[in-house]
Amino acid sequence: MEEYEVSLKDYIDVIWKEKIIIAIILALSLVSALIFSIMQPNVYETRTTLMITPRIAEELEGAQATATVPSFYISPETYEKLAVTNDILVGIIKELQLKGNSEELTVEALRSMMTPRIEMAEKGKTLLPLLTMKVKGTNPEELRDIADAWGRLFIEKNTELLSTRTAQSYEFISERFEEVSNDLRKKEEEKIKYMEENPLSTLQTELTVAKTTYEERLSMLDAKRRELNESAARLKSLEEEIKDEPEFLQWSAPSASWIVTAEALKNPTYFSLKESIIETKVFIDTTKGEISYLEEEVRKLKSEIDEKEARINEIQIILDRMDREISSLKSAYDFLSDKLLEARIAKEEQLQSIKIVEEPVVPQVPTGPSKILNIAIASILGLFVGIFAAFFKNYMEE
């Protein structure tokens, strides 16, 4: 049996023989590609780039380290996932009111338009992540708005993820600082009002005057009591003396011709003692009255002194308590003031930890569709299909 051998010349002959079919298929492919390219809307692309920077404290800590990614950063793959999370995409759709086929654009459709890419940029001895978001679509202005909204929402939603514990506690410290500040102000106002209603210096002056008067009255009372005792002793002595003195003197007349009156027989010593006794009793009664008055005065002054001392002690105790509360609030105020300053600095650093280094712009030159690429692909496919059709026709004929 004779073996049939196919040479290259046979293939060329088949192709040449069926060149019309090949040309027709190739022409149809080219025309189809051209029509398809013309009918397709222009595709534009814009982009925005973010840089995640370390905070000042972390830069200082890593100043002696070799070039490396800061410890607080997460992996590049995670950044790319965070870039197209559902909450960010939903926020973009709602903010821009994006529409797709007369309905609200879906998250999946928006995600297909966005391409995040992460790369590392060296800054000193530190490698900083650069996150670039490319957005493709047919509406140039809408693409710019999407990229701009994405940058803002990404910074807003992911800044907290990269923030320090101090920055995260800023709101709590701020509220607590405000509470302590208000409490301190109210307590100081309360102390001032209380001191106005209860003037301690005036009460202390009144207490000093009352004590001085009390000492004077007490000294006068002691003097009067001594005088009373002396008068009582003198009265007793006079009463003892008057017992030995007769009221009238015994008189022996030399003759009956003498006439002696009762007045002439009075004992002057007796009557002198009696007068002294009366005066002493009057003095004693007067002194007793003065003593009673002074005792009442002393009692009242002592009661007033005790009341003022108790009032002063009560005021002092309340003021001491207020001072302790104010001192405690001032300590808390100073502590929270320092912490608030630290938190505010950390917050500011936190807000600057993600920076936009490339703003999105409205693209002017379309990136697609590529007519030349479409025609080239159609040419290759049409040529292969044409050659396949030529050989198939030749095979069927034989």
State the pLDDT at residue 349.
60
User: Is 83 or 324 the better-scoring residue by pLDDT?
Assistant: 324
Average pLDDT over residues 281-305: 92
Q: Is the pLDDT score of 294 beyond 50?
A: yes
Measure the CA–CA gap between 291 and 225, rounded to whole angstroms: 7
Average pLDDT over residues 234-262: 69
Closest residue by Cα to residue 304 from 371, 227, 207, 170: 207
For the chain, give the number of residues. Answer: 398
Measure the CA–CA gap between 60 and 197, rounded to whole angstroms: 56
Q: What is the CA radius of gyration of the chain?
A: 59
Average pLDDT over residues 66-92: 72
Question: Which contacts (CB < 8 Å, 24+ apart) does range 330-334 have?
Answer: 330/184, 332/180, 333/177, 333/180, 333/181, 333/184
Task: Check if CATH label 2.60.40 holds for domain 187-249+260-344.
Answer: no
The beta-strand segments (E) located in 276-392 are: 354-358
Q: Taking the model in full, what pTM does it have?
A: 0.46
293: confidence class by pLDDT, cuts 50, 70, 90: very high
Average pLDDT over residues 321-338: 92
CATH assignment of 42-163+353-366, among 3.30.70, 3.30.1480, 3.30.420, 3.40.1000: 3.30.70
Q: Is the pLDDT score of 284 beyond 80?
A: yes
Give the SS3 label for residue 125. coil
Measure the CA–CA gap between 111 and 146, rounded to whole angstroms: 11
- The residues near 111 (Cβ < 8 Å, ≥ 6 apart) are 84, 89
Average pLDDT over residues 321-325: 93
Average pLDDT over residues 199-208: 90
Least confident stretch, 73-82, 89-98, 155-164, 197-206: 155-164
- The residues near 53 (Cβ < 8 Å, ≥ 6 apart) are 123, 128, 352, 353, 354, 355
Q: Name the helix (H) or strand (E) containing 25.
A: helix 19-39
State the pLDDT at residue 162.
56
Average pLDDT over residues 301-317: 92
- The residues near 394 (Cβ < 8 Å, ≥ 6 apart) are 14, 17, 18
Q: Name the helix (H) or strand (E) containing 135.
A: strand 126-137
Average pLDDT over residues 185-201: 91
State the pLDDT at residue 66.
43
> In degrees, to the nearest 5, what angle opens at C-alpha 294 toward C-alphas 292 and 300?
105
Q: Quickly list H helices, 163-199.
A: 165-168, 170-197
Q: Is the pLDDT score of 222 beyond 70?
A: yes
Average pLDDT over residues 345-363: 74
Domain ranges of the chain: 1-40+369-398, 42-163+353-366, 187-249+260-344
User: pLDDT per residue over 161-171, tens digit each?
Assistant: 655 555 557 77
State the pLDDT at residue 126.
66
Q: How would you class 226 by CB atoms within 10 Å of its CB: exposed for 0-12, middle for 13-18, buried for 19 or more?
A: exposed
Average pLDDT over residues 234-239: 87
State the pLDDT at residue 189.
93
State the pLDDT at residue 139.
87
Token couple for 385? 């299909």
Give the SS3 label for residue 270. helix
Q: Is the pLDDT score of 191 beyond 50?
A: yes
